Copies of this chain bind each other. A is one copy, B any other.
Amino acid sequence: MKKKSKISDAVIRRLPIYHRFLNDVINKGIVRISSSELGDLTGFTASQIRQDLHNFGGFGQQGYGYNAVELRDKLSEILGLNYTYDSVVIGAGHLGSAIARYKGFRQSGFIIKALFDVDKNIVGNKVDDVPILDMADIVSYINENNISVVVITTPKAAVDDVLNKILQCKIKGIWNFAPVDIVLTDKSILIENVKLNDSLLKLSYYLKEKEEEDK
C-alpha cells in the first residue's frame, strides 16, 4: 500500500473546476495559460492555483505559464478520468432517469449499466438504452457484473433497505442523492453525499439575509 498523500479536501474540490475551465479555453483554441489568467477565469488567486498544482508537482514553466492541454491532461489523470467504473442507479424515478441519460457522467468514467426499482410497473422498461431491473435482483446483478459504483436516488425511507442490500456486495463507491447523510463503518467504501436540500437551505439563508438587509 502506497503511503497516503493526504491532500486537503479544499484542494480536491478545486481540481474539477480547473479542469472544466481548461476544457473551455482549449475549445477556444488557447494554447498557453498563466496562473493569473486561470485565476481570473475561476475566481481563485494565481497564488492558490500554483500552490494547488504544486501539491502534485509543478506542471508549468517559468516565464511561460502552463500549456493548457498538458495541464488539462495532468488534471484528468489526477482526477482519475483514465479509470472507468461500471455503475448502477437505484431508483428509476425522474432523478434516476435524469442521471442515466446525462452524458457527462459517462465522460467522467462512470458507465451506467442498469437502473433498479421496486415498482414492478416500470421494471422491464428502458431509459434510453439502460434497462430498469427489479430491485429484488440487485445483489446478484452487482456481483455478476462487477459493478463498483452505486448511485442512490431513492426517497429517504428506502435508504436503509438499499444499504442492507448493497453492503452484501463488493462495491467501491456510493454517490448518494437521498436526503440523508450516508456514513458507513466500512471506511473502504467511498461516499459522496450530494445534499441538494442543504444546498437549497444555503440559498435560503442568503436570500433571507438579503430580505432583511433591504428592509
Contacts and interface: CB of A to CB of B under 8 A. Distances in A.
A92 B12 CA distance: 32
A202 B13 contact: yes
A186 interface: no
Interface stretch (A133-141, A157-165, A192-200): A192-200
Interface stretch (A47-55, A64-72, A172-180): A172-180
Nearest to A83: B208
A207 B81 CA distance: 10
Nearest to A6: B209
Closest 4 CB pairs of A and B: A80-B208, A94-B98, A16-B201, A16-B198
A196 B105 CA distance: 9
Q: Tell me the number of copies of this protein.
A: 2
A19 B101 CA distance: 33
17 contacts: A1-B213, A15-B205, A17-B198, A43-B183, A79-B205, A80-B211, A81-B201, A83-B211, A94-B94, A94-B95, A94-B97, A95-B95, A105-B200, A110-B200, A110-B204, A173-B206, A192-B203
A1 to B, nearest CB: 5
Given A80-B204, A192-B200, A194-B196, A101 B108 contact: no
A185 interface: no
A201 B104 contact: no
Given A80-B211, A206-B190, A207-B80, A201 B98 contact: no
